[in-house]
Structure 1
Amino acid sequence: MNFSRASQWAGGTAGRAGIVAVFVLSAALNGAPALSSQYLALFIASALVCAAALLTPRLPWPLAPCLVTATTAWWGWPMALLLGVVMYDLAIARRLRAAAGCAAVALAANLAGYPATRLWAEQRYASALLVWLFAVVVGLWLGNRRRLIQALAADVEHMRVEARLREEAARIAERSRIAAEMHDVLAHRLSLIALHTGVLATKSATMPAPVAERLALLRTASTEALTDLRDVLGALREPDAPQTSAALTPVMRDVQELVDEARAAGQRVAMTTEGRPDQAPTTHRLAAYRIVQEALTNARKHAEGALVTVRVDYRPPATLVEVVNTAGTPANTLSVDSGYGLIGLGERVTALGGNLSAGPAGSGSWCLAARIPHPVGTPQNGTRT
């Protein structure tokens, strides 16, 4: 670990500078009575040099410990607090052997140090050892705490990135499925329009000029629509994900069939339908099917035995879907819930200009609702059944 980075105090650079300044002032006040005037200036200069070494960032780590240790070995107990800062720094950096070495060198070399301020006089070494031990303990605790916080922050960041990637994967998968459904529903019909207009265009010589002109325009428009649809599908699908035949399976099923299947499986479902499915655009019918499918699945997982009320309104100006389930007991299954089904539904509904809401509805019930406005000028856009 870099010594200058490890020696940062919880209070920042200013807090460290203040503590070191107090220790230098304490050393000067404690050393002044015991030192003669000819040594006092040299002592203060040594303390200031040690303080500068302790406060200089990006200084090679052995330099400051060695300098403060040598100064303490000569001047003795007035410099013990500054050596305590070194002990604290080394403990944070987990250099306990270096800390023990500095203390041993300072005590041993001080036997030949300045006589008036020796650590061994009046058993001052005991006080110095207590200060250094306290500095080591505090350094170890703060260093471990700092490393724990950094590790937790890294884990939180990792989980945040993982959740974002999984959410994005859910969105991409839903967009790919939307693209497959658009391909199944729209591409075939546009191809038929283009095919039939092409056949009729071969007989344009026997038709009135305005009719032939409109027929040519219809054929051009249908061909361009196919091209635009191909571009939209390419934008919706994940570029690197190959489309399998299973992904292109037609899914134009009615919500009533889905409810009947749930009832056959033993689920309690009450359904209310307002309007006819052909009053809503095909994409809205697909969205309604997916919303009801997701809601019934979640009810089976999280509210087994609950009554599920399904309401679908296809009438303009908006397709409305509301699924409410009463309180129930979680199903005793081993299935793993990804938690991203609602994200995919939100992506689908938002792409159609609508909004999706999901949340508690009181008394332990849960409500999943969506409102998808119909396109302006197209009160209905579907195939009559």
Structure 2
Amino acid sequence: MIGRAPRSLTALSLVPVLAACSAIGDVRREPPARTSAPPRPVGTAPAPSPEADGVEVRRAALAIAGRYDRPYVEFTDPDHGWALFGSCGSRPPARNCPAVLYTTLDGGRSWSRVRHPRPLAWDQQLHTAPGMAAIRVDREGWYTSTDGGASFPRTAGEPAVWRVAQGRFQVDEATGRVARWDGRRLVALAAQPSVPRVDTVGEGGGLLAAAGVDDDGWPYAAVSSDGGRSWRAGPLPSPGGEVIVVRVRTAPDGELWLVGERPDRTGLPALWRHRDGWVPVTAPQRPDRVGSVAPLGAGRVAVNGPEGPGLLVDGRYERLGWPVGPEHHLSVLPDGTVVARGPQDVLLGAGGGTDRRWVRVVVQDG
């Protein structure tokens, strides 16, 4: 899936200080980290740490010369991940603090350093997708590896392997039209969906969906069952408040969802699930503030925010006992593994349903 303003599956910006963009598990902004813990009632014992709740901890202190900030860590599947150390004391890369890149092949149990192609570049982004990693440097181009970091050949524009990772159907940034990637370039579809300002497109369950918002703030969506040769389009059921953009999301089981962002990007987004048409998903006791959402499939969507993780399913809201804090940003991998990325760690939740096996990955300089 890719939208009008595409974001990386994994992106880390250094412009000029370290700032992380959200992954494609979720396109909403990450909530700010808490600066203090909420007050605890007098006379009660502190909540047990996640490590005491059966969470496997994989901690790595990597031997790097210098005093680096916490790295930005992303996983493309439960085994393969990347860690970019890109700042020291919130300052961008420099000769005494060059950017350093690591990779893991065993879910964070061990890490190997790979050659960073441009360790002193200030304006750089790390992009990852299954089978590839790339460093994009402003005004220079892309340095892309498909061999686990052994080499990073340079291209002036987006490499084909990155475009392929965005999906067969994409929104052409130059024209705003829905297009298909033919292996070399984007080719606009002859039939375009009747959607004002298409934000994103995505596939799932044998369907192609496009969504966007008109000038009055009303959401629209279109669905095609023949690869974009024809479309069924129309306005969506009431979003229950203003939305500024609508994203197509695909759950691991192929179920199509739409996520309508609120203007402040912290309110519970408008949610629609495709079931022979777009059906609103809500619950009476839902949280008001949400930092991230992750469609799990089978009519379930996980949410996380100041109240902690929860689940919207069958018109009700349930709290989840996941070892996830309010600062964690939820996404879901194609195999169904839930990823919760926080400023200090990354949690991987494998298994189906809400009962998952959790691993906490902590990476820091030694």
Q: Normalised by the shorter chain, which TM-score bucket?
A: under 0.3
More helix per residue:
1
Larger Rg computed on CA atoms: 1
Q: TM-score with structure 1 length normalisation?
A: 0.22
